[in-house]
C-alpha cells in the first residue's frame, strides 16, 4: 500500500495475552518498517497493564537487533484486570497522549482485540490488531503467529515419546494446549500419526479409541486440554477402566504426557517468522492509510482486514 495518511508521527507496539513464538519477529519488523517511514516508535512493556503504568519506551533499530530468532516477547506480556475498568483505560489513554502517540498496534488473541476495542472508546488514536496466539483460535484468519511453531514443538515431543512407547509396548496420551480450539491437537495428531485425536469441537468416542488400541502394540493418542472428556489424566483413567471391562485379563499400559507451556516457547519456525514479518508490515501500512479498529488476518494466502468487533 502507498502511504496516503500523513497524520501518524508516533506509533506504539504492545504484545498482550499469552506469548507466542514469532512475537519478537513481529516487533522487529513493525519497528523497522515504521522507522523506515520516518515514524517514531515506542514499545509498551507488559501489555495493557504497562500502558496504565506508563511503561512506554522509545525504540530504535538497536532495540530490536537480533530478536527475531528468539521465542517469547521482549516487550513482555501480562493480563490486566485494571484495564477492564473505565478508570484504568483513562490512565492508559492519558499516558498515550502524554507521549504524543497517534496509533497502537497490538499482537495478541481475542482478549487483546477486546482491549483495543475498549481503548478506542476513550482514546482518539488509531488501533489495529494482529493475531498472535499458539491456539490458532482467532476468527477470520487462517493462521495465527505462533501456531506453526507450537505444532512443530509438540510433534517433536511425540516423536521422542514413540521411542519409549515402542520399547515398552506403552500407550501415550499426549495433552496439548487448546481450551476451546482443537487446531493444535488436530495438526500434530495428523503430523505424528496418532491413532486418535480428541478435540473440543467434536464429541469423543471412547469405544473408538479402545478399539484402535486393541489393534496395535503401542499408540499415541492426542487430546486438546479443552476436550469434554476432561484432559489427558481423566482420559487415562477412563480408558484403563473401559479397557479392563472389554478385555479382562489384558493389561493396557497408559502413560500421560502433558506438554503444557513448553509449546509456547522455543525458536519460531520459518513459517511463523515470515507470517509475523508480513503481518507487521501490512499492519503499519494499513495504519498509514487511515485504517483503525481493524484486525489483520491471512485468508487464502492474502492479507486481509476485518472489523475488530
What are the chain's domains?
10-146+268-307 (3.40.50.450), 148-263 (3.40.50.460)
Average pLDDT of the residues of the chain: 93
pLDDT at 231: 93
Higher local confidence (pLDDT), 218 or 257:
257
Instruction: Please compute the mean of the pLDDT values over residues 203-213 and round it to a whole number.
Output: 85
| Res 215: pLDDT | 62
pLDDT in tens, 192-207: 999 999 999 999 988 8
pLDDT at 250 over 80: no
pLDDT band at residue 216 using 50, 70 and 90 as cut-offs: low
- Angle among Cα 110, 115, 120 to the nearest 5 degrees reads 130
At which residue does the C-alpha cell 525504540 appear? 59
Residue 186 clears pLDDT 90, i.e. is over it = yes
pLDDT per residue as tens digits for the range 38-96: 999 999 999 999 999 999 999 999 999 999 999 999 999 988 999 999 999 999 999 99
Does 1 score more than 50 pLDDT? no
- Does residue 121 carry a pLDDT above 60? yes
Mean of the pLDDT values across residues 161-171? 90
Report which of residues 166 and 301 the model is more confident about. 301
Contacts of 93 (CB under 8 A, 6+ apart): 119, 122, 123
Which positions are catalytic?
A: 135
pLDDT band, residue 242 (cuts 50/70/90): confident
pLDDT confidence bin for 220, thresholds 50/70/90 = very high
Measure Cα distances from 83 to 50, 167, 200 in Å.
Answer: 10, 52, 30
Whether the per-residue pLDDT at 3 is higher than 60: the answer is: no
**pLDDT above 50: residue 4:** no
Q: Judging by DSSP bridges, how do beta strands 56-59 and 40-44 pair with one another?
A: antiparallel
- Residue 214 pLDDT grade (very low, low, confident, very high; cuts 50, 70, 90): low
| pTM recorded for the entire structure | 0.94
pLDDT at 6 exceeding the cut of 70 = no
How far, CA to CA in Å, does 214 sit from each of 61, 163, 210, 242? 58, 19, 6, 12
Amino acid at each position: 500500500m502507498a502511504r496516503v495518511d500523513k497524520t501518524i508521527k508516533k506509533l506504539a507496539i504492545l504484545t498482550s495475552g499469552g506469548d507466542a513464538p514469532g512475537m519478537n519477529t513481529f516487533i522487529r519488523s513493525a519497528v523497522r518498517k515504521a522507522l523506515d517511514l520516518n515514524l517514531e516508535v515506542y514499545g509498551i512493556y507488559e501489555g495493557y497493564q504497562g500502558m496504565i503504568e506508563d511503561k512506554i519506551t522509545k525504540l530504535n533499530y538497536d532495540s530490536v537487533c537480533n530478536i527475531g530468532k528468539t521465542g517469547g516477547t521482549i516487550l513482555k506480556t501480562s493480563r490486566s484486570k485494571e484495564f477492564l475498568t473505565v478508570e484504568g483505560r483513562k490512565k492508559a489513554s492519558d499516558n498515550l497522549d502524554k507521549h504524543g502517540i497517534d496509533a497502537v498496534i497490538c499482537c495478541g488473541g481475542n482478549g487483546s482485540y477486546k482491549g483495543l476495542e475498549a481503548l478506542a472508546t476513550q482514546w482518539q488514536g488509531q488501533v489495529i490488531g494482529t493475531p498472535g496466539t499458539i491456539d490458532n483460535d482467532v476468527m477470520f484468519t487462517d493462521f495465527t503467529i505462533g501456531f506453526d511453531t507450537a505444532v512443530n514443538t509438540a510433534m517433536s515431543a511425540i516423536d521422542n515419546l514413540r521411542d519409549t512407547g515402542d520399547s515398552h509396548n506403552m500407550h501415550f496420551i499426549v495433552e496439548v494446549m487448546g481450551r476451546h480450539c482443537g487446531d493444535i491437537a488436530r495438526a500434530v495428531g495428523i503430523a505424528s500419526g496418532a491413532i486418535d485425536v480428541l478435540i473440543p469441537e467434536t464429541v469423543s468416542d471412547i469405544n473408538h479409541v479402545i478399539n484402535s488400541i486393541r489393534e496395535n502394540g503401542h499408540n499415541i493418542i492426542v487430546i486438546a486440554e479443552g476436550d469434554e472428556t476432561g484432559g489427558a489424566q481423566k482420559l487415562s483413567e477412563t480408558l484403563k477402566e473401559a479397557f479392563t471391562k472389554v478385555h479382562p485379563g489384558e493389561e493396557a499400559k497408559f502413560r500421560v504426557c502433558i506438554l503444557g507451556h513448553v509449546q509456547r516457547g522455543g525458536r519460531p519456525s520459518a513459517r511463523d517468522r515470515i507470517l509475523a514479518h508480513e503481518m507487521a508490515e501490512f499492519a503499519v501500512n494499513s495504519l498509514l492509510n487511515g485504517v483503525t479498529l481493524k484486525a489483520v488476518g491471512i485468508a487464502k494466502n492474502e492479507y486481509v482486514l476485518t472489523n475488530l468487533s
